[in-house]
C-alpha cells in the first residue's frame, strides 16, 4: 500500500519540525535524542548481560 519514505516526504517532515521547534532547538532535540538512545542501548546491554549471568548460574 505505502512504499518507503521518499526524499519529498523527509523534506516535508524536516520543514514541519523546523516550523514547530525553530532552528535553534532542533540541534538540542537531536542531541537529547542521541543521549536517550545511548542510555537505552546501555540499559539493554546490561539487561542481556545480567540475564546471561543468571542463566549460567542457574545451570551451573
Domain spans, the chain: 22-59
Q: What is the pLDDT of residues 24-57, one digit of tens each?
A: 898 998 999 999 999 999 999 999 998 888 777 8
pLDDT over threshold 80, residue 1: no
pTM of the model: 0.59
Q: Looking up cell 537529547, which residue turns up?
A: 32
Surface-to-core class of residue 26, CB atoms within 10 Å of its CB (0-12 exposed, 13-18 middle, 19+ buried): middle
Amino acid at each position: 500500500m505505502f512504499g518507503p519514505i521518499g526524499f519529498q516526504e523527509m523534506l516535508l517532515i524536516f520543514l514541519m519540525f523546523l516550523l514547530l521547534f525553530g532552528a535553534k532547538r532542533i540541534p538540542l532535540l537531536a542531541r537529547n535524542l542521541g543521549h536517550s538512545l545511548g542510555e537505552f542501548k546501555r540499559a539493554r546491554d546490561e539487561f542481556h548481560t545480567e540475564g546471561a549471568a543468571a542463566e549460567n548460574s542457574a545451570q551451573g
